[in-house]
Chains A and B, each alone.
Chain A
Amino acid sequence: MSFTEIVFYAFSAIMVVAALGVISARNPVHSALSLVLTFFATAAIWMLLEAEFLAITLVLVYVGAVMVLFLFVVMMLDINITQMRAGFMRFLPFGILVALILAVQMILVVGPANFGLDVAGFASPVEHAADYSNTKELGRVLYTDYVFPFEIAAVILLVAIVAAISLTMRRRPQTKYQTPGKQVMVKKEDRLRIIKMQTEEKQ
């Protein structure tokens, strides 16, 4: 077994165990942390595929930002664990069925046959030379061949941001807030009044 294979199987094992941990951990915080570990192992496997841009972006976006906010929410909510796990065994067969359907769909859509790869042997993709830059290749394709889908995706995200903010924003007139512009513009004359008066006799 070559070193690459050892690395691959090690990270695959971590990924599968951590993914099981996500759905089986008793504590929601542990579930979220298992998901972080799953992302990490996935990133390592993508790294083996020389997809370093995707791997690092996965860590940067999902681990560094999305999961932080997830943890944030999970920690704030006081989730009743026993209530959440009440129907676990009852819904297990249904869950397994859904998972199987999902797996079949994924294999049909992103299976090796769709990318002109060897179906039977699951051969690893061709290795590139040391000066091959995945980031550069990805950028080139994204901004030439797929520029319109890329921009449409960006617009959809922007709409989602605007929608999320406008749905949750509440204007509360009674709250006090500062206007830093006004604060900076304040002059001495606005605040200070100098009164001329006679000195008073000492009492």
Chain B
Amino acid sequence: MIESMMSFVMPIWEWLPMWIQVLVTNVFFIVIIMVPLMLSVAYVTYAERKIIGYMQVRIGPNRVGPRGWLQPIADAVKLMFKEIIIPTNSNRFLFLFAPMLSMGPALAAWAVIPFADNIQLADVNAGLLYILAMTSMGVYGVIIAGWASNSKYAMLGALRSAAQVVAYEIAMGFALVGVLMAGGSLNLGDIIDKQAGGFFNWFWLPLLPLMVVYFISGVAETNRAPFDVAEGESEIVAGFHVDYSGMAFAVFFLAEYANIIMIAALTSLLFFGGWMSPFGSYADVPLLGNGFHWFVIKTMFFIYMFLWIRATFPRYRYDQIMRLGWKVFIPVTIVWIFVEAVMAVMQIGPWAV
């Protein structure tokens, strides 16, 4: 059956021009990455409500489907059928364009993520730089949304968010400089290969301060609690998306969760060995050896950290956020890069070339 289908399909496939073949295969792989990603985005929202619910000694969503498992689907259906209200005097095109701008980069960055050994969409030499560039793009959605809504609250939220993201991006970039010094490459596959050999060979240990700075900056970058002044309900209602409703709002919401998964995946790739197994010497035992499942487990752990942090800490005041970003994180990263440079010259640790 499959044999005869293949013999029918293959000549047509080979008849197609080269670039259409490339296009079709790439679109196919993109769909393979995107569909599970969007599903996990939906279920991270469910996990958040459930986990924070239990942390606050309540049950969380439990009405739709068994134990509330269909809740994200119900939410999506509800949001799809709600009206998208476009405020008068808003900039119509930019108002509708902003949610896409915040969603696009969050998904585009997945192109270079290695899911397992040699399994990635694009093996880019400058993969780390590409990710940094893509994550720095996300702020446009917020700024444009704030401006196009033609509302004071939205504008204030956008300005806060822009200042915050630009501040934390520097610390994040410096933390990544530390990673690329340790990995000796900008290629994500090479960085993971350099972490081979189990739990204590991962970069979290030699780069501990950078790991902490990176993860906290990631929380700040995604505008999550306790850094969610961009939407601080008590001061500026809901910040940049106060005027959005229905699916336009939902896209912002999904982009936030896509970014959380992104930062969690990056933390596990850059500091926790990605798909490397923590039991370095048991590489031959099934499930204990290297594999995709380790990447998933680590990513899920960091997503859980995001939720845990949200449930634990009160919101930062704005000036304290700025102080933390500029006066604490950036000096810490600079000092650690200096330490790394000295150790590289002295041939100590993973930097010994």
- Chains A and B form a bound pair: yes
- Given known A-B contacts A3-B19, A56-B129, A133-B125, A75 and B136 have beta carbons under 8 A apart: no
| Residue B147 is within 8 A (CB to CB) of chain A in the complex | yes
| Residue A48 is within 8 A (CB to CB) of chain B in the complex | no
| Residue B47 is within 8 A (CB to CB) of chain A in the complex | no
Q: How many Å lie between the Cα of A53 and that of B133 in the bound state? A: 11
Q: In the complex, which of the residues B94, B129, B143, B165 contacts A53, with contact meaning CB atoms closer than 8 Å?
A: B129
Q: Is the interface of A mostly helix, strand, loop or mixed?
A: helix
- Given known A-B contacts A33-B144, A76-B159, A65 and B169 have beta carbons under 8 A apart: yes
Q: Across the interface, do A56 and B130 meet the contact criterion of CB distance under 8 Å?
A: yes
| Residue B162 is within 8 A (CB to CB) of chain A in the complex | yes
Q: How many Å lie between the Cα of A33 and that of B101 in the bound state? A: 12
Report the nearest A residue to B163, measured CB to CB. Answer: A72
- Given known A-B contacts A36-B140, A63-B137, A64-B137, A72 and B162 have beta carbons under 8 A apart: yes
Report the nearest B residue to A180, measured CB to CB. Answer: B323
| Residue A135 is within 8 A (CB to CB) of chain B in the complex | yes
User: How many chain-B residues does the 8 Å CB contact rule pick out?
Assistant: 30
- Given known A-B contacts A68-B143, A69-B166, A71-B143, A57 and B129 have beta carbons under 8 A apart: yes
Q: Across the interface, do B136 and A135 meet the contact criterion of CB distance under 8 Å?
A: no
- Given known A-B contacts A3-B19, A76-B159, A59 and B133 have beta carbons under 8 A apart: yes
Report the nearest B residue to A67, measured CB to CB. Answer: B140
Q: How many Å lie between the Cα of A91 and that of B243 in the bound state? A: 40
Q: Across the interface, do B125 and A64 meet the contact criterion of CB distance under 8 Å?
A: no
| Residue A29 is within 8 A (CB to CB) of chain B in the complex | yes
Q: In the complex, which of the residues B137, B146, B163 contacts A59, with contact meaning CB atoms closer than 8 Å?
A: B137
Q: Across the interface, do B143 and A75 meet the contact criterion of CB distance under 8 Å?
A: yes
Give the distance to chain A from B226, nearest Cβ to Cβ, in Å. 16
Q: Across the interface, do B133 and A52 meet the contact criterion of CB distance under 8 Å?
A: no
Chain A 29-66, CB-CB to B under 8 Å as 1, else 0, gives 10001001000000000000000110011011001110
Q: How many Å lie between the Cα of A197 and that of B155 in the bound state? A: 56
Q: In the complex, which of the residues A52, A63, A69, A180 contacts B126, with contact meaning CB atoms closer than 8 Å?
A: A52
| Residue B139 is within 8 A (CB to CB) of chain A in the complex | yes
Q: Among the interface residues B18, B126, B163, which one has the most CB atoms of the partner chain A within 10 A?
A: B126
Q: How many Å lie between the Cα of A5 and that of B169 in the bound state? A: 35
- Given known A-B contacts A60-B133, A72-B143, A3 and B18 have beta carbons under 8 A apart: yes
| Residue A134 is within 8 A (CB to CB) of chain B in the complex | yes
Instruction: Please give 9 more A-B residue pairs, beta carbons under 8 A apart, in addition to A72-B162, A72-B163, A75-B147.
Output: A29-B91, A29-B147, A36-B140, A56-B130, A57-B129, A68-B162, A68-B165, A69-B166, A72-B159
A-B contact list, 25 entries, CB within 8 Å: A3-B18, A27-B91, A29-B94, A36-B140, A52-B124, A53-B126, A56-B129, A56-B130, A56-B132, A57-B129, A59-B136, A59-B137, A60-B132, A60-B133, A60-B136, A63-B133, A64-B136, A64-B169, A65-B169, A68-B139, A68-B140, A68-B143, A68-B166, A75-B146, A135-B125
